[in-house]
Structure 1
Amino acid sequence: MFSKIITFGLETLALVHAAPSFQVPMVSCNVNIGASGTLAHLLPDIPSGNYHVYNEAWGSAQLRSHSTTEPIFVSLTRESVGPFGMWKIEPQDDTNEKYAISNIGLGVPVHNSGNLIFPGEPGEAFAIERAGQDDNKQDVFTIKVPSVNKVWTVDTNTVRSNVSLKEELGLPSQKWKFVPVPLIPSGTYHVYNEAWGSLQLRSYSNKEPIFISDTVESPGNLSMASATFHWKIEPHGNSNEYTISNLGLEVPVHKISNLIFTGQSDERFAIEYAGQDVSKEDVFTIKVSSENSVWTVDTNTVRSNVSLKRLEQGLPSQKWKFVPVPLN
């Protein structure tokens, strides 16, 4: 599913140590200069968000992780890595000294263990520091254990290399690039609940909650019938927050009490990776950012409104799939 949702074209690149031509802007330093011309505030070089991470010496090979029992690594193999090649970067303060780095596919942070970087608890804070630019004028950084002069490093004379900690020498194999990427790219989707299978999320009226149903119903206006099953997903910046709108009604969704309605009120929801279903398709939770409540449907009925309930680990009725819809 993730390959249906996000296509980056990396697999079409020649498998050599050559830098890819990125279509997404690289991160850059954000400095706010006050009216007096003095430095008012220095934001972290890497804003909080989701990223693909590349090593300068390895070009288009994504940093990835598939298991908590082995170190994170880069590889020139062609397999699709999906969310296992995506990383959540979270500054822990307004300096560059403390970042939490987590693998989105595994849902765990990384830490140093015996000079190798492993995914899994407990997480560890790393310093991310500027290290100049590469040949394509893209910013590169070192990732360092703050207490020692050792940085994330990979070998270059192999087709796969674990990430280890070595003394900082300014080598390309010690420099990293961060490319922002939303979990769900902006676009139009059919939305399915894991527990309800092939039945689509829909909405016919601002006066009732959005819902899933296995009945055949007419929205009244047949010209908008198909559009009532179409949902526009719009990410906000490099975060997990999204505006979700129904194309048939041409309005966004928002919560009223513990139900989700369409209407003029614009609300952002967090979409977070929640693993894969039995068909190996990626599923997600849709969450109210300020609460631990997620979009949920009932399963013992022929029609269920979407309500907000407390997140319960592994509950199919709280997991959603997004299938892109090409619009002519």
Structure 2
Amino acid sequence: MTTGEREEGRVVLSCLPVVMMAVVTVVDLTAGPEVGFLPLVSLGPAFAGLIGTWRRTALIGVVALLLCVGLGAYDGLFGTRRGYTAMASVVGVTAAGVTAAVMRGRREAELASMRSIAEAAQRVLLRPVPRSAGPLQVAVSYTSAVAEARIGGDLYEVVASPHGVRVIVGDVQGKGLAAVETAALVLGAFREAAHDEPDLVALAARLERSVAREANGEKFVTVVLAEVRVEERAAVLLNCGHPAPMLVRSDGCVDFLRPPAYALPLGLGTHGGEPPRSYRVDFAPGDQLLFYTDGVTEARDADGTFFPLEERAGLLKSPEAEAAIEALREDVVRHARGPLHDDAAMLLLRYR
């Protein structure tokens, strides 16, 4: 549901109490006291409690009570058992609506507090990447599957190291706070090791030790590491079980940079498998490298069709890298026609 649709729904609900009381009034005046519509005036405060504040709900309740007294007098029911029953129903429903509004307000305040904390955690965990590094333009996009949290287990970082511009994009197994904790561990280790380790193989080994030591085999992280060597017009990649980055050449040709052999995700090194091996690709002016998590390629439409990333590579033609990746993100959301079922992170490197 879009923001406009949510706002439209709130407006409809806010008008509903008045509409319901007006309808009950018209029907009661038309049908007469024999039909017994008078207690339905309590629908006003009942619907008010669904969305309004407790003050607005109480105000609607007072209006409903006055309306009930007026209609009861008009119908000749004021002072009778039916009249008292109708007024009692209005008072009881109003009290219940006020209570519900108070409890809902407290929950909304707690949720707003959690969101602000999550946003602060996101700024620390996924701090803004540099918009440029030498001749490289950098842009990122992150869409969390958990709207209330706004953060999840996907991670990314760009570090200008003595060995070149180094990049990591990864996806932690699972969701929630445990995934965020593991993502913070990997990013912390990467930010330090990116300056120290001479090559990506040594960097991956250091990350593996960090994850294995802290996660105890209970978590694993798929990552792709990259080192852009501008003077050589090349990029060196190392893939640990992560989706292959997409390379868009200056002439529009698209290639997915699959490794000669995938290494196991971080945290599973004790299980054997292929050792991490780096591989080199040409990366020249005009080229673009898109790193992403599986939340992008596994986004499905109503028919279960996966997002066709290769077919959408043309969306990256915008002169500005940030506009290009935002256009691609919006296309992913349109394809899914609603909230994504998994976190989706993208990082674009553009060689200007």
Same fold (TM > 0.5): no
Counting strand residues as a fraction of each chain, which structure ranks higher?
1
- Look at both structures and tell me which one has the larger radius of gyration over its CA atoms: 2
More helix by share: 2
TM range (shorter): under 0.3
